[in-house]
Amino acid sequence: MAQDLKDCRVSCKLSWEDLQTLCRRERLVCKHLNVTKNNFNYYEVEYLCNYKKHKGREFFLVKWKGYTESENTWEPLRNLKCPTLLHQFREDIKAALLQANEPLDSDSLSAPVVSFLLQKAKQRIKLQKWENLMNQTCRHKGRIFVCNEVDLDGPPKNFTYINENRLGKGVDVNPVIVGCECDNCISQPLDGCCPGLMKHRRAYNDSGQVKVMPGVPIYECNSKCRCGPDCANRVVQKGIQYDLCIFKTANGRGWGVRTLQRIYKNSFVMEYLGEIITTEEAERRGVVYDKQGVTYLFDLDYVDDVYTIDAAHYGNISHFVNHSVSNN
């Protein structure tokens, strides 16, 4: 039964929540989805899209999850058990009324305000789905959050979040074929130890912060090395360790990235990921990007063949890092 549900979810492109709603609508009991006869009539608020007062009582127009907009219903406040959605909706109403220069104590909302509220609710759902997808894709400790309180833009188009570089046409990057034989690369390094490529100078301190000067290559231990995943010479490969937020900037610079945790100097933050392409392809794309006024090309160093990473359409959170003239 569980495998059947998984196959159904994949073939129909439904989330577990959507499958629960479908079972309730069809009044089908499913223990794997926790759907019983006792909760057939359970309804989940997807978003709120209108508001009015009648005889001093507050009513909200509710879009129910799993149901069409034609099935929206007006509900009194006492019927709603979604405090977070209610708080956000009230804040959106205030912002919309101020923007429209309308009184804050209105018993009903104008058409422009209602339109804004509907667009904002749908935008948040799209951004939440995008946030969930990115966190499902990445394989690291740090979580990614998304925030847009500037406009009604949703997730960027023509961009796919990836967890490792993609190889473009004509690119042949040799996989790792050798590794060191050290049990402990720091205290008992053997000949051929990966840090030995830097004359056995440690690239990182015990906290994983970079010790070498800028411009010096770092050779981390790899999957062929005998040392374990806790080796002090493995930092970048562990991925992002901090919670980060992709946010819409208020100065017209598009999306940016800010940290949600304190990051100490010389700490590894993120790897620049994208599509690895040849120099010739990079030059061709560069002409197009120059006309658009953007570029995501980053030349790779310390390799025999000259390749470039293009993060325009495939990348991770580094795609959204904005340059700042007053960087911290």
Residue 119's pLDDT is what?
95
State both tokens at 267.
């700490």
List the alpha helices (DSSP H) in 228-321.
Answer: 279-292
State both tokens at 155.
């997730």
Return d(Cα 271, Cα 311) in angstroms, integer: 11
| Number of CB atoms found within 10 A of residue 11's CB | 8
Q: How far is CA 154 from CA 122, 228, 283, in A?
A: 9, 42, 31
Instruction: Please check the confidence at residue 5 and state whether its pLDDT lies above 50.
Output: no
Return d(Cα 37, Cα 160) in angstroms, integer: 41
Which architecture characterizes domain 48-137 according to CATH?
Answer: Beta Barrel (2.40)
Closest CA to 194 of 238, 241, 232, 239: 232
State both tokens at 59.
């009513």
State both tokens at 28.
């089908």
Neighbour-count burial for 296-324, b at 16+ CB within 10 Å, e otherwise: bbeeeeeeeeebbbbbbbbbbbbbbbeee
Q: What is the pLDDT of residues 270-297, one digit of tens each?
A: 999 999 999 899 999 999 999 988 889 9
Return d(Cα 266, Cα 212) in angstroms, integer: 10
What average pLDDT score do residues 161-187 get?
86
> Of how many residues is the chain composed?
328
With cut-offs at 50, 70 and 90, classify the pLDDT of residue 9: very low
Q: Which pTM does this prediction carry?
A: 0.80
Residue 196's pLDDT is what?
77
What are the residue boundaries of the structural domains of the chain, listed by start? 1-42, 48-137
What average pLDDT score do residues 35-41 get?
59
Return d(Cα 220, Cα 39) in angstroms, integer: 53
- The residue among 109 and 22 whose pLDDT is bigger is 109
List the alpha helices (DSSP H) in 57-137.
Answer: 83-99, 111-137
H helix or E strand, kind and range, residue 12: helix 2-12
- The residue among 308 and 186 whose pLDDT is bigger is 308
- The residue among 48 and 201 whose pLDDT is bigger is 48
